[in-house]
């Protein structure tokens, strides 16, 4: 049995270890909670694995070493306690951490799964942005570790469309730092108004019906989806849709791995066997980009 003194010293050591380890600190200034769902290699955003950040609370989440992973980690953020693929308003805090090979941490704030102009009743409403959100490395901006933010007036250095494209922000910092993600910096903002949002299983869950659905037998090509719904049942395609080019197995348009990878319906949009970018441009919907400098 440990002596009281040894227990105290051990506790202090463990506390010091936790402080030193890299974390994302979710700091919620809102008067309502928000929820975080981890998506990446080995993480499917399951509801029961979601992180609750309570009103007025702070939650520390470890930054994972992504060397050896296929891409980075995307932390999907909602003001509702379940993760759903689009149409569902989602913010993303993304990162790619290579402490051994480069000693660098790449990160970004992404709104590619939602629309900043959408109203709270719209399935693509961006939660938390109206009240002000900021993703940054505290104390290291002078070292080039720049922030990304959004408010009711717009966004700075955040991804609004799938990238990378010329002029996109490339945010990075050295290993050994924490990232902070703060919400409701200006006000409580607006919250998602849930009406008749369709029941959609999270990635990795079994779809409600088994096997691929046949392409509709009507004359001509499927029409472009006007609302993000696709597949045989609706007859709509995602090809040419502003909401995404890939039709997921759950019949929704999008551009991320959830839509373009396993289960993607090639008869109703574009599918890709690999959604990974080249090593010099690691950012996708779920993978932060690595700078070449």
pTM recorded for the entire structure: 0.60
Q: pLDDT at position 30, please?
A: 95
Q: pLDDT at position 165, please?
A: 58
Q: How far apart are CA 273 and CA 66, in angstroms?
A: 21
Do residues 259 and 85 lie in contact, with contact meaning Cβ atoms separated by under 8 Å? yes
Instruction: Look at the alpha carbons of 279, 285, 286, 292 in this order and tell me if their dihedral is positive or negative.
Output: positive
Instruction: Look at the alpha carbons of 88, 73, 95, 265 in this order and tell me if their dihedral is positive or negative.
Output: negative
Do residues 291 and 106 lie in contact, with contact meaning Cβ atoms separated by under 8 Å? yes
> Counting Cβ atoms within 10 Å, is residue 250 exposed (0-12), middle (13-18) or buried (19+)?
buried
Query: For the residues of 230-281, what is the DSSP string, one character each?
Result: -BTTTTEE-TT-TT-SEE-TTSBEESSHHHHSTT--GGGS---S--PPPTT-
Q: pLDDT at position 233, please?
A: 81
Reported as half-sphere exposure (CB side, CA atoms, 13 A), residue 191 has a value of: 12
pLDDT < 70 positions in the chain: 1-20, 85-87, 163-169, 195-221, 273-293
Tokens matching residue 214? 């046949």
pLDDT of 95-138, one tens digit each?
A: 999 999 999 999 999 998 888 888 898 888 999 999 999 999 99
Q: Which domains does the chain have, with CATH numbers?
A: 18-183 (2.60.110.10)
């Amino acid at each position: 049995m440990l002596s009281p003194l040894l227990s105290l010293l051990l506790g202090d050591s463990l506390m010091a270890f936790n402080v030193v380890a890299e974390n994302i600190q979710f700091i919620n200034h809102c008067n309502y909670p928000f929820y975080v769902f981890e998506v990446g290699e080995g993480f499917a955003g399951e509801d029961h694995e979601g992180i609750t950040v309570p009103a007025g609370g702070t939650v520390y989440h470890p930054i994972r070493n992504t060397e050896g992973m296929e891409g980075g980690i995307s932390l999907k953020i909602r003001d509702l306690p379940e993760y759903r693929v689009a149409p569902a308003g989602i913010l993303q805090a993304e990162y790619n951490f290579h402490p051994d090979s480069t000693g660098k941490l790449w990160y970004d704030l992404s709104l590619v799964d939602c629309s900043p102009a959408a109203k709270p009743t719209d399935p693509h409403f961006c939660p938390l942005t109206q009240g002000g959100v900021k993703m940054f490395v505290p104390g290291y901006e002078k070292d080039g570790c720049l922030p990304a933010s959004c408010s009711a007036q717009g966004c700075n250095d955040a991804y609004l469309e799938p990238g990378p494209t010329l002029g996109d922000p490339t945010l990075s910092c050295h290993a050994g730092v924490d990232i902070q993600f703060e919400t409701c910096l200006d006000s409580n903002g607006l919250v998602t108004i849930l009406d008749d949002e369709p029941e959609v299983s999270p990635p990795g869950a079994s779809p409600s019906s088994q096997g691929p659905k046949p392409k509709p037998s009507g004359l001509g090509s499927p029409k472009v989806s006007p609302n993000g719904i696709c597949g045989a049942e609706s007859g709509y395609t995602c090809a040419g849709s502003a909401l995404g080019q890939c039709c997921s197995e759950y019949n929704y348009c999008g551009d991320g791995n959830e839509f373009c990878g396993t289960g993607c319906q090639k008869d109703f949009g574009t599918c890709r066997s690999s959604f990974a970018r080249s090593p010099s441009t690691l950012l996708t919907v779920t993978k932060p980009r690595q700078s070449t400098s």
